Amino acid sequence: MAGPNIIVIGASAGGYEPLKTIAAGLPKDLDASIFIVWHMSPDVRGILPQVLNKYDRIPAAHAVDRETIFPGRIYVAPPDHHLLVEDGQVRVTRGPKENRFRPAVDPLFRSAAYFYKSNVIGVILSGALDDGTSGLWTVKHRGGIAVVQSPLDAEVPSMPDNALREVDVDHVVRAAEMPELFVRLVAQKNGRKAITDDVDDVRLRREIEVAAEDAAIDKGIMDFGELSPFTCPECHGVLARIKDGNFSRFRCHTGHAYSPDTLISAMTESVESRLWDAIRGLDETIMMLNNIGDHFAEHDQPQLAGKYFQKANDARERSDKIREAIFSHEELSNETIREEAAIEYVVSEPDNASAADRSN
């Protein structure tokens, strides 16, 4: 394999243990540079490098912007920063969030695929929703190797499941098997060629530049997709639908990006927030109407006071209906809908079987 070997790893919920398992099993002389994005809260102190260094294998540290890439190193995305790679150097930036995270998996994978093509091994570990699916597709599309933790081995299988659904994955293995797999893949020559065209190259480069803090609107990012009827849950800008093969994703003109699963989750979460805003407005209206009614009652104007009290009661009835809507509201994702459909199928299957038996 000509050029440096690049291993990019993405993990979210449930990713802590497999990351430790991988670090503990890596040989010290592995001829590869490893980059890790693990979703975390922006106000959490990043402890992953210290944890990985306890195994005394490959040294790990939080990445530093524009440091040189060396083999035999683990570069970890710092909290609240995207981790990208360029030709021979690391980028650490605060570009727009993707899939509601910074760091996000997709920007790292895209940047590695753009600059290192078939020298990249992309790895998806345990996590919720589907960050990393688009990035892994890009790794595979540009000649790299796609590796996914077995969903049966993952504490939270959504990220592996979604990657397997959308990407022609090369290897599905347990976390404990990955160190040996990396050794074999690094030793082999990957003869795949990238499947690209000029438009694809330009779009990919500009998306990397957006993650690297360039203004998305100046990069013409909206020109690479079709305008959708949806708006960005974070900034309320119009979202353009971008296609990665058969996989659709969305990006707004300020740069925020969403996979379908993350967009559904964000939309349904924002519905509850807006309903609570409506209740707050109605509650304030109720208090104000009652306050004015009390004022007129104190000044011996009972008919006018009664009208204000009536309007306050009308507002309370509307508020109660919105509360009922909130308590019946679901925060959805593709995963929860698929699980519900699977349960309904299993429950209904015996009845179908009985009907078939009766027909015989």
Tell me whether residue 109 is in a domain.
Answer: yes
Sequence-distant (≥ 6) Cβ neighbours of residue 69 within 8 angstroms: 4, 33, 75, 85, 88, 89, 90
**Could you tell me if 41 and 173 lie in one domain?**
yes
What pLDDT score does 351 carry? 55
Residues 155 and 22 in one domain: yes
Question: Are 180 and 275 found together in one domain?
Answer: no
Q: Which of 106, 131, 153, 261 is catalytic?
A: 131
Residue of 12, 126, 158, 333 with catalytic role: 12
The reply to whether 143 and 34 lie within a common domain is yes
56 & 145 share domain: yes
Among the candidates 187, 205, 229, a domain finishes at 187
Same domain? 169 vs 280: no
* Of the residues 165, 187, 209, the one at which a domain ends: 187
Same domain, residue pair 115 and 28 = yes
Question: Residue 132 falls within a domain, yes or no?
Answer: yes
Q: What's the pTM? A: 0.85
Q: Is residue 220 part of a domain?
A: no
User: Can you give the CATH number for the domain in which 101 is found?
Assistant: 3.40.50.180
* Helix/strand/coil (H/E/C) assignment for every residue in the chain: CCCCCEEEEEECCCCHHHHHHHHHHCCCCCCCEEEEEECCCCCCCCCHHHHHHCCCCCCEEECCCCCECCCCEEEECCCCCEEEECCCEEEEECCCCECCECCCHHHHHHHHHHHHHHHEEEEECCCCCCCCHHHHHHHHHCCCEEEEECCCCCCCCHHHHHHHHHCCCCEEECHHHHHHHHHHHHHCCCCCCCCCCHHHHHHHHHHHHHHCCCCCCCCCHHHHCEEEEEECCCCCCEEEEEEECCEEEEEECCCCEECHHHHHHHHHHHHHHHHHHHHHHHHHHHHHHHHHHHHHHHCCCHHHHHHHHHHHHHHHHHHHHHHHHHHHCCCCCHHHHHHHHHHHHHHHHHHHHHHHHHHC
Catalytic site includes residue 31: no
For residues 266 and 179, membership in a common domain is answered with: no
Is 131 a known active-site residue? yes
Same domain for 10 and 108, yes or no, is yes
Can you give the pLDDT of all 360 residues of the chain as single tens digits? 467 999 999 999 999 999 999 999 999 999 999 999 999 888 777 899 999 999 999 999 999 999 999 999 999 999 999 999 999 999 999 999 999 999 999 999 999 999 999 999 999 999 999 999 999 999 999 999 999 999 999 999 999 999 999 999 999 999 999 999 999 999 986 767 767 767 789 999 999 999 999 988 899 989 999 999 999 999 999 999 999 988 899 999 999 999 999 999 899 888 888 899 999 999 999 999 999 999 999 999 999 999 999 999 999 999 999 999 999 888 777 777 877 777 766 666 655 544 444 444
Q: Which domain holds residue 321?
A: 262-329
- Do 138 and 47 share a structural domain? yes
- Residue pointed to by tokens 């519900």: 340
Is 235 inside a domain boundary? no
Tell me whether residue 343 is in a domain: no
- The residue from 143, 170, 187 where one domain ends is 187
From the list 33, 39, 161, 259, the catalytic residue is 39
289 and 152 in one domain?
Answer: no
Tally the domains of the chain.
Answer: 2
Residue 194 lies in a domain: no
Catalytic (active site) residue 39: yes
- Residue 290 counted as domain residue: yes
pLDDT value for 360: 40
Determine the pLDDT at residue 356. Answer: 45
Answer whether residue 286 is part of any domain: yes
Residues 133, 268, single domain; the answer is no
